[in-house]
Chains A and B, each alone.
Chain A
Amino acid sequence: MRPAMQFVDIASKFQALITVSKAETSVDGKSIMQMSMLAATYGTRLKIKAEGVDAAEAVEALRELVEVKKFNEPTPEEKSKQMS
């Protein structure tokens, strides 16, 4: 649940309305309940949409968390490499 929490923590810093979609389902990016119920496991394709004054900054910060920092966690591939 840590990744969902990190996502929500960052999203909540912005005023913009943030929506996260996985396939047909869209949820509020500032709600940990909704985000974790999205059950977005490693490799899931997500769409992040932001509307409001700081929308651009919000999307950039969230993109960085997901694509660059990768939630500061090892990916499953890295994990299995560490194990072997």
Chain B
Amino acid sequence: MEIKKGIAVSPGISIGKCFVIDAEDYRIPRRLIEPSQRLTETQRVRNAFKDGIEELTRLQAEQEEIEGQKIKDIFAVHLSYLRDRTLRKKITDMVNTELVTAEFAVSSTLRDIASHFTKVKDIYISERAADIYDIEHRLLGHLVGGKRQDIAALKEEAIIVARELSPTQTASFNKEYIKGIATGAGGRTSHTAIVARSLGIPAVVALEDITEYVTAGDTVIIDGNRGIVIVNPDDSTIEQYLEYAVEYTELEHRLDTIREKPAETRDKVRVILLGNIEFPDEAQGVLQKGGEGIGLYRTEFLYLNRNTEPTEQEHYEAYSRTVAVFKSMPVILRTVDLGADKYTQSRRYIREPNPFLGLRSIRFCLQNLTMFKTQLHAIMRASVLGDLRIMFPLITNLQELMQAKMILGDVMEDLDEEGVPHNRNIKVGIMVETPSAALTASMLARDADFFSIGTNDLTQYTLAVDRGNELVSTLYSSVDPAVLRLIRTVIQDAHKAQVDVSVCGEMASEPESVMLLLGLGVRKLSMAAPMIPEIKQIIRSVTIEECNKVARKVLGMNSERQISSFLRDAARKILPEAF
């Protein structure tokens, strides 16, 4: 039995057999297989060699005109290694005799060869070690890539244990069979966390070297409430957790009974709770949990789990399906937020040194007008079906907003010419998720119908902390005094300009932050559907006067630690079961 502590990012308890995914750019742990798996594992090795040869042959052909001899030579050397039967045999022999996974056999065999080279005195030869690492990386990429496809085809319930999951992987999840997620990397607002929450799958992240402690098929307990993962638990632990799981389900059901009641404080101040969704089929879940519309409709999924760019009709169909569920309730659709950790088909292989500061989100759209216009065209066509609103992500200055609105204007003109009905008065707002947008909120307010504070990116950019990096995850906090000051500015400026303001980042679904946000003047919160009942329960248990007091106190504090422990105490008094 091995107990690992990480960060709880999606509540719930699950117990099941695990499915492990190693990462090609992370050390591959020695993992054993059953003798009966020999055939499958050696076949995986052969497939990886075959796929590697195909890929290299293709790359070599593409390289023909552009680069020159040098790169072609490198590919030729790599190819020649992949065609070396004695190398392949060495690896499959290792799988057969030592009973290790294909990943481990590939990694350790090639690393042995590489270290042999580094020991040679001759510089020309010792430098060749880099080639061997490249080959290792390529083979692992194919092995792990194949594993990723296997998640999509999962036929039985499993708990996914991985170094990190990419948006492309989670987009192809078969939700029915995935019962829990544990990752070594990540933080509360990393992609995996957000997806797990919106699908209602228990998840724990930032477990560091978790992948080294598990073997495929091990029994694993995920405690998404306390951030604990237990590998190969003993019988009494399993029993204890089964009981705990039942208790937790009962609490959830109790919370569900408040679905029909309004999200209203004890002193009758009405708060609106909206859902964050990514897929049209999550829409129904938002209504079931008592959501009154969509505050953040992410549209990247259309690009992620496929090999071609989506057509205008495909955009339209997804949007109209979602809008239809909500009838006259608002649906705030965020235009594509690609770049950084999410890539489109054509750009998937172009790497930027600083992707989060690079060509992402609205910047990417403004440089790819055909793609942007295709989406806007579909949104506008769907705009007559309900209360659809448009939100531009990652705005950093007024110019970007004006430019995006101008393009929207062009699209409307096109629609006029085509005689296609659309809502000319569609509401257009922005995500406030960069310090620059927060600081210039009063200027942006003149040209935006609404603001939605994206606390995840706002925190990341304000504190200069990568939200997916577990090494600095302790520095990442939305209740840091610096972030709170920016949030307060945005809310005050929005109120002055009479612009609607809501919070759609993870902060809105953190029970301990709710009183603070209400105290700062927020009356609209958007979150993953499974969190709505719990947040509503908190709202119904407090008065605005109490919330204002909390906010005043917090704004007077000067350390993150002091603020978060104060907020936790305040929330614990209101909803003790959740903590």
User: Which A positions have Cβ atoms within 8 angstroms of B?
Assistant: 1-2, 5, 8-9, 28, 30-34, 36-37, 39, 41
Contact = CB atoms under 8 A, between A and B. Distances in A.
B86 A1 contact: no
B124 A32 contact: no
Contact of B81 (A28, A32, A39): A32
A81 to B, nearest CB: 18
Nearest to B76: A5
Contact of B80 (A5, A37, A39): A5
B84 interface: yes
Contacts of A37: 113, 116-117
Given A5-B76, A39-B122, A31 B85 contact: yes
Interface residues of B, number: 19
Contacts of B113: 33, 37
A2 B77 contact: yes
A5 B78 CA distance: 10
Chain B interface mostly helix, strand, loop or mixed?
helix
Nearest to A41: B122
A34 B122 contact: no
Contacts of A36: 117, 125, 128
A31 B131 contact: no
A36 B125 CA distance: 8
B246 interface: no
Interface in B488-534: none
Interface string B96-121: 00000000000000000100110010
Contact of A31 (B87, B122, B124): B87
Given A1-B77, A5-B76, A31 B84 contact: yes
A29 to B, nearest CB: 11
A8 B80 contact: yes
Contacts of A28: 86
Nearest to B82: A32
B128 A33 contact: no
B128 A1 contact: yes
A35 to B, nearest CB: 9
B150 interface: no
B116 A32 contact: no
Contacts of B85: 31
Interface in B48-97: 73, 76-77, 80-81, 84-87, 90
Which one of A8, A30, A33, A41 has the highest number of Cβ atoms from chain B below 10 Å of its Cβ? A33
Given A39-B120, A39-B122, A1 B84 contact: no
Nearest to A12: B83
A9 B122 contact: no
Contacts of B73: 2
Contacts of B125: 36, 39, 41
Contacts of B77: 1-2, 5, 32
